[in-house]
Amino acid sequence: MSGQYDDRLRTLSRRVEQTRESLDPDPPDEERAMEILRQGFGPTVALYCEARTGGSWVRFSGAEFERLERTMNDWLDCYAACYGVELAGTYSVRAAAELLVDTHNAHDVAVLLTGVPDQ
């Protein structure tokens, strides 16, 4: 993986750990949920989209791809916690990227993947 993407993913990984440690929502906390989507989930999915559609196609090693998906799922877990839902998600970053291309909206992607909040 390019250093540019590796640095960004490391930052997103550290940030989600800090977010998880500080997360103490009073569900529903829609404002905090949107902050999590804007600052973590959206940028994580966007990193994958950019790596796959940018000027040069970036190849992720198995470990890098696993870290990318784990980071994305950790952000979704934090998002769901804002609604009082425990996920322990195992969602595909590729599926999230395809939904983002279709919807152009990280919130819609999170709702479609997780079903949170209940509609």
Domain for residue 83, yes or no?
A: yes
Domain for residue 56, yes or no?
A: yes
Domain that holds residue 33: 3-114
Give the sign of the dihedral formed by CA 95, CA 100, CA 101, CA 103: positive
Q: What is the pLDDT of residue 79?
A: 98
Structure tokens at 63: 């470990």
Query: b/e for 49-67, b at 16 or more Cβ within 10 A?
Result: bbbeeeeeebebeeebeeb
CB 19 within 8 A of CB 36: yes
Domain for residue 119, yes or no?
A: no
CB 61 within 8 A of CB 2: no
Structure tokens at 20: 């998880």
CA dist., res. 119 & res. 116, Å (int): 8
Domain for residue 69, yes or no?
A: yes
> Residue 83 carries which DSSP code?
T
Ordered per-residue pLDDT tens for the chain, 119 residues: 667 899 999 999 999 999 999 998 789 999 999 999 999 999 999 999 999 987 777 889 999 999 999 999 999 999 999 999 999 989 999 999 999 999 999 999 999 999 999 86
Give the sign of the dihedral formed by CA 3, CA 66, CA 102, CA 43: negative
Domain for residue 106, yes or no?
A: yes
Q: How many domains does the chain have?
A: 1
Give the CA angle between residues 110, 112, 115 to the nearest 5°: 85
Domain for residue 27, yes or no?
A: yes
pTM of the model: 0.94
CB 41 within 8 A of CB 76: yes
Q: What is the pLDDT of residue 1?
A: 66
Domain for residue 89, yes or no?
A: yes
